[in-house]
Structure 1
Amino acid sequence: MLDGPAAVRVDRPRYEGANIRTWIGFKHFMYLVEEGVLQYFRERGLGARSLYQEHGLGLEVVEFSAQLPHLLEVDDEVEVVVDTAPRQKPGHGLALVAQLFLLRDGERHLALKGKLRVALVREEHPPATAPAPEAVLPFVVDGVDGLADAGGEPLAIAPGQSVEDVLSPAGSNAFVWSWQIPYFYCHFSNRLQSSGYVRAMEEVTDRFLRDRGLQIGTILRERAWIPVVSRAKVHMLADAYMEEVVHTVFTVQDMIKDISYTATVDHYVQRGDQLVRTATGTIMHGYAYSRGERAGTVASIDPATAALLLGEA
């Protein structure tokens, strides 16, 4: 266990995340918390740079589950609080809890509540390999698939089958997007990082909506709706490497009344005649009005839109 008080960091969301009005998109909430995680390790004398340069260990957020109860805007000041979780499971990495508070007009509003797990991965070709500090030894793994709840059985690709045949069989409502891992989504020269999966989650959602005739730009112009995310989760199961092709599967699972829907997001890489699942996740998605008197309020999803989301149209 790593001793010490909670790490507290005051920050602001990045301008890049303000895509509609001055509202900040969900992935930038998660980026702010990731900065808090780095602060947590730095305050314990175990910054990501020293872990790598002295011990050959790559600090990786391997799981991040977030609830987003409050919006953030450009220029907002936020307080990120990251602490050791009260319960730890051996072999699962270091469990952390996080909160993100909006500081505005003398008030403090909870904008994110999250749970994370961090692993320290033995990297290839490190600059040094001094023994890991005793405090972090329980969290050191040879690869992400070395964690107790990682791995899993791969999917077989039978002769004559395509990746799409396996991942989006008829009637499944699954949408598949294939993409090659760029170097700027990676950590330590070769491994796809957690925030790369967060970015892929946002992009596959956009591509799915376009495929279903619910293009964000069109819906914005015609209905003044914008997509909003109230929950998101990414869980890494195995390493994926730079320039591998990731097959990301987006599947809407349920409608929650008429205000939101939940979807699973699974990521696979093909190795030989098998598909290895490298990460999984979930997202809860809905719509809000972007202009007019109802700006910022929740929009009701009509039956026709729900049918498109569920593949029933």
Structure 2
Amino acid sequence: MVKIGKIELGDFPLLLAPMEDVSDPPFRAVCKEHGADLMYTEFVSSEGLIRDAVKSRKKLDIFEYERPVGIQLFGSDIETMGSCADIATQVNPDLIDINYGCPVKNVACKGAGAALLQDIPKMVRMTEAVVKSTPLPVTVKTRLGWDESTKNITEVAERLQDIGIQALSIHGRTRVQMYKGEADWSLIAKVKENSRIQIPIFGNGDIDSPEKALEYKNRYGVDGIMIGRASIGNPWIFDDIKHYVRTGTRRALPTLANRVATCQKHLDFSIRWKGPVLGILEMRRHYTNYFRGMDHFKPFRMRLVESMSYDEICQILQEVKEHYQEWAC
């Protein structure tokens, strides 16, 4: 049984990665329904929380259905991160996660996210401040290092464990790589094999099929897998992996009716959470992913992304189901 503090996650948990503009409550709802064991919020700016920015506060919304769930924080100031851990604790998540992995320029150039991979002593001090500011378990998501010459994840893992984190998720690339090239899980395995490491180690990067998940589980010995981009438009991947790990066989692919129904649930939750305007606008990025691979789908997609009417969008989704009823997923 894999545990983070007192949180029991099963024998080989599957985690939904925190993804900006993706991992909001509506998306987490469909992933939870389809087998995600632990989920994280979009990353929350510590500076935004301190300023009481509406967008940052909204990201703290969590719901009972999604437990266990963690709030992920990022920032560059140690004192501010400690204060924000206390603020986040007040909304009663199951854990607090620190982002030391985000590679995008507008985060890293401000000294946050993956930028801390260039200053490990500061990373350790910041993590210690967060650990001391909350009674909740604290976890970390990071990368192998800043670049090829600084792949120091083994040292980082030991130092972060020593000051109190209770799980570590590692993306198998450096910051310089961004999301290019193949993720290198060999260093993730070295962290897991280190006799000093007693906390759960979760691998992240390039897991896009049940076969690959089982292969990496067996080859690298991680305690669980964190899945990000492969879940977008495909929340079924969590149940697919669990079935394959358990039986060695593939589940039937989701039918078109499954896809339309899940997309509809996602839309409905988006509107309930964000309101009729923003809920419809922010759902637009998901239609292509839900119906990926369908021939000549562009006319339907254009209608879906141009409409601001809930009733009209529902009608278009029904037309998709009728038009592609013979389509094999």
TM class by shorter chain equals under 0.3
Name the one with the larger strand percent.
1
| TM-score normalized with structure 1 length | 0.25
| TM-score normalized with structure 2 length | 0.25
